[in-house]
Structure 1
Amino acid sequence: MFGTSGVRGPVGDEITAGLALDVGRALATDGAETVVIGRDARDSGAMLVRALLAGLTECGADAVDVGVEATPTVARAVAREGADAGVVVTASHNPAPDNGIKLWTASGRAFDEERNDRITEIVEAAAFDFADHDGIGTVEERDVVAGGDARRAHERALREAVSLPDDLSVVVDLGNGVGRVTADALHAAGCDVETLNAQRDGRFPGRPSEPTAENCGTACEVVAATDADLGVVHDGDADRLMAIDERGRFVAGDALLALFARREAGPGDRVAVPVDTSLLVADALAAVDAEVTYTPVGDAYVAAETTKPDVVFGGEPSGAWIWPAQTRCPDGPLAACTLAALVGAEGSLAAMVDDLPAYPIRRDSVRTEAKRVIVERVGEIAAAEYDDVSTLDGIRVETDAGWFLVRASGTEPLVRITAEARDEADAAALFETARDLVDRAAADRGQ
């Protein structure tokens, strides 16, 4: 039922009030006595929150409803409220017809596979522990209409964690989402803030929710046409953060990950990244005597790795950034403030990006209903033909020239192929090798 980012899909199909009711019941049945709940700006969220609250209280849990807020704002509120768990109703960067449910621990970390599996088992067995009439839980609303308590606490935490410059000009594209805390924190520090798509609207009329280069063209144009020092862009629930340099160029996620990682890590430290991360990050860390540690793709896996004492930071090129000393929830507003501080200290985001090497990377996908069978066969072939093969998430093969990765998509009927090297010819050759392995595997399985 749960994927790497909770349960997510079209409302009225995969995501229903009945599902939300049962997830609430299961969470309380599993032992959560107090639960913080919040949602993004999608209209369907109100219905799903009501169903979750009914399920939680029906099985004896008390709920604290913080209203329409960013995912990291809600996740941070779990510990502050002394709660056992948190629930965010969001489909994050997915399109408007979708919604979802993601569960959080008191540490701000998403539920791991074991805890998600427990919730799934309770839901599928309908093994709910209903409360007696005098044991029904309560619901406390925390300034839901004004949206104050949780957001103000998040803003204070941002300003305490990051020493923000007071002379920057920043364009903040909220994507019609719920990341207002970023603009609030930067403005309170004295920055000149111009917002785009700042009106909360779960239809995402300003641009699609996912903060990709293709979707953020207007923000790039605004930054380039003004004296802004940088631009920052969020997805619908503000767990993601991507950036635009002062020339109006969208900054690739791997480059941003390298800059953050180099800022946070020192000799002997490790940074957690997914297996599809560029060599750029490993090389940037090697320059400061630090190293990467690879995880499966998904911020929950990155967050889990940050529980180890020598892992000081974690991130994904898609825009999820985790500072474990602050929270193990990807925190887009914290990333925005940290980037502003970095630009304030170094002077130019464009110069920092241009100083990084650029490695050619190839990506493609093969559509198939047998994605897991094909990847399994690729693993068998690769194990026989290569010395350095990782099966952490898909099949990653390291060579002297670079690496390639073959993995099953977590959300679509696709086998994804990625290859990277330090020069174009090697990248092309590795990609063709990986593509040939997929073709051979498909032929062996009769696909």
Structure 2
Amino acid sequence: MTLIKSISGIRGTIGGHAGDNLTPLDVVKFTTAYARLIAERNPGRKLTIVIGRDARISGEMVANLVEGTLLGCGVDVVNVGLCTTPGTELAVTAHKADGGIIITASHNPRQWNALKLLNGEGEFLSDAEGKRVLAMAEEEDFAYPEIDGIGHVVSRESYNERHIEQVLALPLVDVEAVRARKFKVVVDAVNSVGGIVMPELLRRLGCEVVELNCEPTGEFAHNPEPLPQNLTQIAQVIVREKADLGIVVDPDVDRLAFVNEDGTMFVEEYTLVAVADYVLSHKVGNTVSNLSSSRALRDVTERHGGRYYASAVGEVNVVAKMKEVGAVIGGEGNGGVIYPELHYGRDALVGAALFLTHLAKCGMTMTQLRATYPAYYASKNKIELTPAIDVDKVLREIKARYAGEKVNDIDGVKIDFAENWVHLRKSNTEPIIRVYTEAKSMEEADALAQRFIGEIKQICNL
């Protein structure tokens, strides 16, 4: 059982001992600390905070604890219920709230849940703000308002329809072009909130929808991370149904993966690449992705006359870099598309609508479109952390060994070789070291990964 406190929020497994897992006591403690941070940032104001959650089975329990704690802190609450992460982010600004809490462990399995913490812009807290929350959570003296100072539930209302409408209203989403193609789409929403919103968005775009795992029960039909090994069912259904494509989202609908008409993977890394290709064809500008993302985005950006920038891993880092360089599109190679014309958050609905417009206008099949992009192959591996592994020592040693290469150490260690790269870093969301590589063949990417896994084990005497 695990409790992870990082730039990605407070994430842990349900049950067990307080302080080691995400227990009711931990939920109350961290929610209180967050409310205190928001109060510090807004002195003298009556605060309003938005709450939204995905459909995982612990979501209702955690949401009730969060809501009750905020009320006890004197904070008013707007509860949007079952809502995507991007939808909750948009609800913060729509309600002119002071912050938001999203109750979701994203791609983690069913026993996990998390508190993702937002500021008044509907964006994730900065690293400094997150550390302040963690520090305040360790304080023993929590003082709460007396009876006349408790908060109230301002409203309980869904934001899902407004989110869909905002996506469809974007100038680069050509609803008529998509309707004209009459796409047949299989959707796998892994039994979470995506099953509520993604089929509705697609039907509004004139698509015929085949729903797969779209009942929001929270009992995930497969490992919820949208990786090829978890998507065999949708691949079979696409071929059987003679569908044009498949769309896969994670439990909180900020990651997006596509499956081709023949059941092969479009590849999650290429979600952002394809969407960026479409956006850049209409508006030349810069792009940003994190250090673990494919070189293909750089290639496509430069082909359109823009400039590519890399950030540390983590949505807040990508967003900060996008704002710094004025990027018109950005995101992460895990299928996270950030389109600032709507908001600065990974959004699978925005990604799907822009992608389908691109596919409709180019007149290609999925496999034909995929063939137009540079061919890179990623190998994503991990090493479970044990007491014997000193991550900082590992990264220092690797950096020293490859000092003669192009090394970036803003987030772990990334080594850019001429024909491939490797990125080693400690995960923000799991007790692991991630070992990501990319090369021009799968065999080369796997071999590079195994080489560095071997070096890590050698350093740690494993």
**TM-score, with structure 2 as normaliser:** 0.87
* Structure 2 residue ranges without an equivalent (≥5): 40-46
Q: Which amino acid aligns with 2:123?
A: R
1:30 equivalent in alignment to 2:37: yes
The alpha-carbon deviation at position 433 of structure 1 amounts to: 6.3
Alignment partner, residue 71 of structure 1 = 85
Alignment partner, residue 317 of structure 1 = 333
The alpha-carbon deviation at position 132 of structure 1 amounts to: 2.9
Q: Bigger CA drift: 399-408 or 213-222?
A: 399-408
The change in CA–CA distance for 1:426 and 1:239 in structure 2 (over 3 A counts) is: closer
Partner SS, residue 176 of structure 1: coil
Matches within 5 A, 1:365-376: 365-367=382-384, 368=386, 369-376=389-396
The change in CA–CA distance for 1:404 and 1:261 in structure 2 (over 3 A counts) is: same
Q: 1:90 aligns with which of 90, 104, 110?
A: 104
Partner SS, residue 360 of structure 2: helix
The change in CA–CA distance for 1:116 and 1:358 in structure 2 (over 3 A counts) is: same
The alpha-carbon deviation at position 363 of structure 1 amounts to: 4.6
Alignment partner, residue 42 of structure 2 = none
Q: Which amino acid aligns with 1:350?
A: T
Q: Bigger CA drift: 12-21 or 399-408?
A: 399-408
Q: 2:276 aligns with which of 261, 272, 279?
A: 261
Alignment partner, residue 352 of structure 1 = 369
The question of whether the paired residues in 2 share the 8 Å contact of 1:94 and 1:209 is answered with: yes
The question of whether the paired residues in 1 share the 8 Å contact of 2:379 and 2:449 is answered with: yes
1:136 equivalent in alignment to 2:159: no
- What whole-Å deviation, never above 9, does each CA across 1:45-96 have from its counterpart, x for those lacking one? 2221121122212221111111112111111100001101011111111111
Q: Distance in 2 between matches of 1:95 and 1:433?
A: 29
The alpha-carbon deviation at position 99 of structure 1 amounts to: 1.0
The change in CA–CA distance for 1:185 and 1:103 in structure 2 (over 3 A counts) is: same
The change in CA–CA distance for 1:154 and 1:413 in structure 2 (over 3 A counts) is: closer
The question of whether the paired residues in 1 share the 8 Å contact of 2:415 and 2:421 is answered with: yes
Q: Give the fraction of aligned pairs with identical amino acids, expressed as a percent.
A: 29
Partner SS, residue 22 of structure 2: coil
1:221 equivalent in alignment to 2:236: yes
The question of whether the paired residues in 2 share the 8 Å contact of 1:122 and 1:128 is answered with: no
1:117 equivalent in alignment to 2:117: no
1:150 equivalent in alignment to 2:159: yes
Alignment partner, residue 174 of structure 2 = 163
The alpha-carbon deviation at position 357 of structure 1 amounts to: 2.7
Alignment partner, residue 51 of structure 1 = 65
Alignment partner, residue 417 of structure 1 = 435
The alpha-carbon deviation at position 429 of structure 1 amounts to: 7.7
Q: Which amino acid aligns with 2:367?
A: A
How many residues align? The count is 436
The question of whether the paired residues in 2 share the 8 Å contact of 1:38 and 1:89 is answered with: yes
Partner SS, residue 115 of structure 1: helix
The change in CA–CA distance for 1:435 and 1:12 in structure 2 (over 3 A counts) is: closer
The change in CA–CA distance for 1:169 and 1:429 in structure 2 (over 3 A counts) is: closer
Q: Distance in 2 between matches of 1:53 and 1:418?
A: 38
Alignment partner, residue 8 of structure 1 = 11
Partner SS, residue 26 of structure 1: helix
Alignment partner, residue 416 of structure 2 = 398
Alignment partner, residue 242 of structure 1 = 257
Q: Distance in 2 between matches of 1:433 and 1:234?
A: 32
Q: Which amino acid aligns with 1:29?
A: R
Partner SS, residue 402 of structure 2: helix
Partner SS, residue 344 of structure 2: coil
Q: Which amino acid aligns with 2:320?
A: A
The alpha-carbon deviation at position 309 of structure 1 amounts to: 4.8
1:301 equivalent in alignment to 2:317: yes
The question of whether the paired residues in 2 share the 8 Å contact of 1:37 and 1:74 is answered with: yes
Q: Which amino acid aligns with 1:157?
A: Q
Q: Distance in 2 between matches of 1:374 and 1:23?
A: 31
Q: Which amino acid aligns with 1:378?
A: I
Q: Which amino acid aligns with 2:232?
A: G
The alpha-carbon deviation at position 241 of structure 1 amounts to: 1.1
- What whole-Å deviation, never above 9, does each CA across 1:214-236 have from its counterpart, x for those lacking one? 22212112222224222111111
Q: Which amino acid aligns with 1:220?
A: A
**TM-score, with structure 1 as normaliser:** 0.90
Q: Bigger CA drift: 159-168 or 74-83?
A: 159-168
- What whole-Å deviation, never above 9, does each CA across 1:346-397 have from its counterpart, x for those lacking one? 12221110122323444544455322221122223333xx152110111112
Q: Which amino acid aligns with 1:10?
A: T
Q: 1:275 aligns with which of 291, 294, 297?
A: 291
Q: Bigger CA drift: 134-143 or 153-162?
A: 134-143
The change in CA–CA distance for 1:415 and 1:56 in structure 2 (over 3 A counts) is: closer
Q: 1:41 aligns with which of 39, 46, 55?
A: 55
- What whole-Å deviation, never above 9, does each CA across 1:21-64 have from its counterpart, x for those lacking one? 12222222223411000111123222211211222122211111
Q: Distance in 1 between matches of 2:97 and 2:366?
A: 39
Q: Distance in 1 between matches of 2:256 and 2:240?
A: 21
Q: CA RMSD in A?
A: 2.4
Partner SS, residue 214 of structure 1: helix
Q: Distance in 2 between matches of 1:334 and 1:70?
A: 12
Q: Distance in 2 between matches of 1:103 and 1:216?
A: 30
Partner SS, residue 30 of structure 1: helix
The question of whether the paired residues in 1 share the 8 Å contact of 2:119 and 2:125 is answered with: yes
Q: Distance in 2 between matches of 1:69 and 1:346?
A: 32
